[in-house]
Amino acid sequence: MAADDRILEAAYISPGGRRFTFQYEDVSRSFDKLGAEFTFPDSVGTYVQDLGRSGHKYPLIMFFNGDDHDLEANAFEAALGEAGVGAIEHPRYGRVPVVPLGAITRTDNLKSGGNQASISVTLLETIEFIFPALSTDPAAEVTNAIDEYNIAKAQEFEDQLNVGSEIERVTFESRYSATISDAKSGLDDIANQDDSVFSTFNNIHDSIINSLDLLVGQPLALALQTSLFLQTPALAGTQIGARLDAYRNLLNVLIASVQPQSNSFQNDDLFASGMVTGSVVSVVNTQFETKTQAITAAEEVITQMDALTVWRDDNYEALEQIDTGAAYQQLQNAVALAAGFLVQISFTLKQERRVVLQRARTIIDLAAQYYPDEQLSDDSINFVISSNNLSGLEYIEIPAGTEFIYFE
């Protein structure tokens, strides 16, 4: 396929859902590389902390032609002024969530180009969630949002699942059994870090399996129990990275393909959405120590939600079905609240710093120097080890020239 064959129809979708197609000429995009510079005494050179990149900027000149070009331009101009996140279906770069930024200029070519108007605008890529204002107990607010999602998802699942015939019932039950088996295998290790959590996790699993014949005929109850089953391991005390990895890995397996059959999609969507809620429950049940940990976790839950959204859209389009959006909106709200919560607490957490050791040092020596206000303990020593990924002979002595990470 030639490059010209991969050019897509250009369109803008307003926050209110209106879709406008437009003509264009040359296109481009750009982004800013983000970072912070640090210099240290007795160290030659500068350490640059890589903070990722900004969203892409899409400068566009959009043309409207024909007898109704003025009316089309009026409507499009009004859509650009709407509050909220829209989307660009870019002819070269695909669909991207965006917000118009800066000056928006309209030109009506009354003399030089009859029946034509153009609008110049820069669209800035954004995350799709506006972080809501949080209450005095943001963790509880996120938990409440998850509870609301569970109810909405169960109702949606009951409305969408069709097991009226015996073949549909047997086929769905088989697929559900395989999916919950994969989920249990993927979540066992993190649930097993807490005896109480592991016991609850196994009890819910056994309860579902032992009564699956009955629950298939009661989709509301099946969906509620499934959501609870998937979210329980998130309460275990294992490292947040391990929990998020487990949920992400299972999510990626589930969204690897488009499902050609409605019941199969409803099954996979129940579990895939449940993986995202598991990550959300994980982050609000974690005592974060550093800003880096909190921001990384926020980026992870947003990335998982983005991946889920694309997959769901593709499936609804392939199945020619309409997403009512009730459960999706609740999940989107929970993710937005969780991300906002993490950003909020990140301002109170320790900031990452790095130095290059000028001589060989021990873990205890470094813990005492860089964390002088903390009582030297197993926790502080383990924090030095985990934040620097120390292993082997480094437990005894860390060589000169090693880059050492600490937080203050």
Give me the residue label for tokens 């303990």: 377
Check residue 322 and report its DSSP letter: -
Check residue 320 and report its DSSP letter: T
Q: Residue 124, SS3?
A: strand
pLDDT at 10: 84
Give me the residue label for tokens 């890529």: 125
pLDDT at 177: 95
**Alpha carbon distances (Å) from 119 to 104, 116, 190:** 7, 10, 53
Global pTM value: 0.62
* Whole-number Å distance between alpha carbons of 284 and 303: 17
Using the CB atoms, write b or e for 112-137: b if 16+ within 10 Å.
eeeebbbbebbbbbbbbbebeebeee
pLDDT at 113: 63
Residue among 278, 214, 209 at smallest CA distance from 242:
278
Query: How crowded is the C-beta side of 6, counted as CA atoms within 13 Å?
Result: 6
pLDDT at 47: 66
Phi, psi dihedrals of residue 16, rounded to the nearest 5°: -80, -5
pLDDT at 128: 54
| Annotated domain spans of the chain | 3-125, 138-346, 352-407
**Alpha carbon distances (Å) from 27 to 7, 53, 56, 70, 122:** 11, 21, 13, 23, 11
Burial class (CB in 10 A: 0-12, 13-18, 19+), 32: exposed
The partner residues of 60 in beta bridges, in order of sequence, read 121
pLDDT at 373: 67
* Whole-number Å distance between alpha carbons of 331 and 75: 31
pLDDT truncated to tens, each residue of the chain (408 aa)?
676 667 778 888 888 788 888 887 878 888 777 766 656 555 566 766 666 677 788 888 888 888 888 888 888 888 888 877 888 888 888 888 888 887 788 787 766 666 788 888 888 888 655 455 555 577 788 888 999 999 999 999 999 999 989 999 999 999 999 999 999 999 999 999 999 999 999 999 999 999 998 999 999 999 999 999 999 999 997 889 999 999 999 999 999 977 779 999 999 999 999 999 999 999 999 888 888 888 889 999 999 999 999 999 888 888 888 887 788 989 999 998 998 888 888 777 777 677 787 889 888 888 888 777 666 777 778 878 877 888 888 888 888 888 887 776
CATH match for 3-125 among 2.40.30.200, 3.90.1150.10, 3.30.465.10, 3.40.50.720: 2.40.30.200
| Cα 313 → chain centroid | 16
pLDDT at 117: 82
* Whole-number Å distance between alpha carbons of 268 and 179: 8
pLDDT at 29: 83
136-139 long-range contacts, CB within 8 A, separation 24+ = 138/284, 138/337, 138/340, 138/341, 138/344, 139/284, 139/285, 139/341
Phi and psi based region of residue 115 (left: phi greater than 0; alpha: psi -120 to 50; beta: remaining)? left
